[in-house]
Amino acid sequence: MPGLFSTHFVLAVCLIISLTTISTANAAVRRYKWEVKYEYKSQDCVKKLVLTINGRTPGPTIRAKRGDTVIVQLKNSLLTENVAIHWHGIRQIGTPWADGTEGVTQCPILSGDTFTYQFLVDRAGTYMYHAHYGMQREAGLYGSLRVALPDGESEPFSYDYDRSIILNDWYHKSAYEQATGLSSIPFQWVGEPQSLLIQGKGQFNCSLATPETGACNATNPECSRYVITFVPGKTYRLRIGSLTALSALSFEIEGHNMTVVEADGHYVDPFVVKNLFIYSGETYSVIVKADQDPSRNYWAVSKIVSRSGNTTNGLAIINYYPNHPKRSPPTRPPAGPEWNDTKSRQDQSLSIKSHPNFIHSPPQTSDRVIVLLNTQNEINGRRRWSVNNVSFNLPHTPYLIALKERLGHSFDQTPPPDGYNTTTYDIFKAQDNTNATSSNSIYRLKFNSVVDLILQNAQTMNKNKSDSETHPWHLHGHDFWVLGYGEGKFNKSTDPQKYNLVNPIMKNTVPVHRFGWTALRFRADNPGTWAFHCHIESHFYMGMGIVLEEGIEKVGKLPSSIMGCGDTKGYRRP
C-alpha cells in the first residue's frame, strides 16, 4: 500500500501545472511543465477522444506580468501524432522560432519528444494558445494566456475580479475525419458544429444521439454547465476569447450590459453592448457590473451568427452568490440576434477605436499595398480556398529554417501576386475558378517598411445562392492598425481616403465581412517568417493563407531544437 500511495501521489503531482516564479528586479520567469495526450472526455455529454494538457481541456491558464519570460516544457505523449503550439497574440520579438507554427517557424514536435518554448510577454492583455498542427486545435488543445501590468501600474478601467472565458464550437467527428472529407473527391464539407462550448462545457441533446454519435450521457458532470459566480455589487472583468473551428459568435449575459474595454491586448475607447460579436482568434475584455436582482441566477449565451444552422446555443450560468451555483435561472435564455443581421456585426467592427489615452498613431502612408482576394477554387477536382487564385500549401522544411540556413530549394521562389484583376473579376458572381494553382511561395517584405494588407471578400463557388462568408484573419508576429471596412469591391483610388488615420484600433485578428473589404496597416519590423491566415480551421487547411518574411538576416542563430524535418533531417535535436 505505501508503494501504491507513492505512485498515485507522483501521478497526481505530474497532472498539476508546475509553475515556478523566479523574481528579479523587474520581471520573473514563469515555468510550466505540460504533457499533451489524448483522453476520453464528454465536453458536451458525448464521449470523444480529446487532446488534453495535463489531463485538461481547456488547458491550464498561463498567468504572467508584462516583461516576464514564459517557459513551457512540452512533452508530446500522443502515440501517433506530431504537435505544435502557437502563442496567439504574442509577437515573439527576438524569438521567432517560438511562435509555434509548424511549417513556418519550427518542425513539429514528434511523438514522444519534449520541446521547450521560451518567450517574453512584452505587452499586457488577453491572449490565448492553441495547437497549430493540422486541425488539432478543434480537438481541444487550447487555453488562455493572461498578461497583467507590472506592480504599480494601473489600467484605464477598474474591476474587482478577473475571469477568463474561451468560447468554442464542437464537432463529434475527429479532425482526421473532417480533413479527409475536405481533401476528397467529391468534396465533403465539415458541416455545422454539433455543440457550442463555454469554457469547455456544452450540452448536446442526447435524445438526438445516433449510433454514429457515440455514447451520450446528459448526467455526466464533465458537461455540467459552466458557472461564473458574481458577488452582488462587485465589478467583473471578463476576458473573452474565441477559438471556434468555424463559427462566428454572439455572446450575451442575460439582463446585463457589457462595456468593451480591450481588444487583442489594446485598450478600447469604451462602448456598451448587449451582444458581443466575436470571431475565431479574437479576444476582448468586457466590464460587467453585478447590479441585477441577487435572488436569482442568469444565463450567459453563445450563439452562431453569420451562418444558418441548427446548432443549439451554448449556455452557462451567472451565479449570484449565495444562490446555488447549479440553480438554473427561472427564465428562458435570451434568443440573441438573428444569424443574418450583418449590419449589427459591421457596426460593432466600426465602433472599435483606440482609447484616447493609448493611441498609437499609424504611419500616414504605406510603402506597399497587397490586395488579397479570398475565393473558393478547384484544383484537379479538389475544392480549395485561394488568395489571388493561389492556394497555399505548407512546405516540408519550415520557412524560418530554409531562409536562415539558405535552403532556398525547399520552397517555391516565385513571388505570389500582390493583387488580382479588379477590372474583370466580379466579386458578386460565382466564378468557374477551376484554373487555380497551389504554391508555397511567400511574400518578401523590406524590413521596417509599412505594408497595407487589403482583405477582399467574394462569392463562393455556390451558384445557387448569394454566398460570401465572414473570414477572421490572424497575423502572427505583429499587431496591425485596422484602417477601415467597406462594402463591395475595394477601390484603390477612393477607398483609402476614408481610412481612419486618427485613432484606429490595433489588433492581431480581424474579420472581413461578406462581400466587403477590410484594410490593415503594419510595420514589417519583426525579423522572421510569419503566417497570415483565415482562423477558420477548415479554411486554412484548404489553403486560405499566406506567409510573410521580413529581416531574415537579422534573426539570431536558430536553436537546433526546432529542426529535424524536411531538408533539416540531418540536424540533430539536443
Q: What is the pLDDT of residues 127-143, one digit of tens each?
A: 999 999 999 999 999 99
Lowest mean pLDDT among 20-34, 393-407, 469-483: 20-34
The yes-or-no verdict on residue 15 having pLDDT over 50 is no
* Structure letter (DSSP) for residue 340: T
- Which residue is listed with cell 465536453? 43
Strands (E), 326-460: 368-379, 382-387, 390-392, 437-439, 443-445, 450-456
Residue 25: per-residue pLDDT: 52
Residue 4: per-residue pLDDT: 39
Residue 465: per-residue pLDDT: 80
Q: Which comes out higher in pLDDT, residue 509 or 309?
A: 509
- Which residue is listed with cell 484605464? 156
Do the Cβ atoms of 286 and 259 come closer than 8 Å?
Answer: yes
Residue 479's Cβ-count burial label (10 Å; 0-12, 13-18, 19+) is buried
Largest CA distance in the chain: 79
The H or E element spanning position 323 is none
The yes-or-no verdict on residue 18 having pLDDT over 70 is no
| Per-residue buried b or exposed e for 397-412, using 16+ beta carbons within 10 Å of the residue's own CB | bbbbbbbbeebeebbb
3-state secondary structure of 317: strand
The yes-or-no verdict on residue 22 having pLDDT over 80 is no
The yes-or-no verdict on residue 21 having pLDDT over 70 is no
Residue 10: per-residue pLDDT: 37
The yes-or-no verdict on residue 569 having pLDDT over 80 is no
Residue 246's Cβ-count burial label (10 Å; 0-12, 13-18, 19+) is buried
| 433 confidence band (pLDDT: 50, 70, 90) | confident
3-state secondary structure of 566: helix
Residue 24: per-residue pLDDT: 45
Mean pLDDT value across the chain:
93
Give the N- to C-terminal CA distance of the chain in Å, as an integer: 39
3-state secondary structure of 173: coil
| 570 confidence band (pLDDT: 50, 70, 90) | low
Q: Which comes out higher in pLDDT, residue 517 or 570?
A: 517
Q: What is the pLDDT of residues 55-113, one digit of tens each?
A: 999 999 999 999 999 999 999 999 999 999 999 999 999 999 999 999 999 999 999 99
Average pLDDT over residues 394-399: 96
Across the chain, how many H-helices and E-strands are there? 5, 33
The yes-or-no verdict on residue 197 having pLDDT over 50 is yes
Residue 571: per-residue pLDDT: 61
Q: What is the pLDDT of residues 323-361, one digit of tens each?
A: 999 899 999 999 999 999 999 999 999 999 999 999 999
The yes-or-no verdict on residue 1 having pLDDT over 50 is no
Beta bridge partners of 201: 198
The H or E element spanning position 519 is strand 516-523
Do the Cβ atoms of 32 and 19 come closer than 8 Å?
Answer: yes
Residue 212: per-residue pLDDT: 84
Rounded distance between C-alpha atoms, residue 518 and residue 512, angstroms: 5
The yes-or-no verdict on residue 48 having pLDDT over 60 is yes
The rounded percent of the chain whose pLDDT value lies above 70 is 95
Residue 16: per-residue pLDDT: 35
Whether pTM > 0.75 for this model: the answer is: yes
Q: What is the pLDDT of residues 463-481, one digit of tens each?
A: 888 788 899 999 999 999 9
Residue 435: per-residue pLDDT: 77
Residue 464: per-residue pLDDT: 81
The yes-or-no verdict on residue 2 having pLDDT over 50 is no
Q: Is the dihedral of CA 414, 419, 420, 421 positive or negative?
A: negative
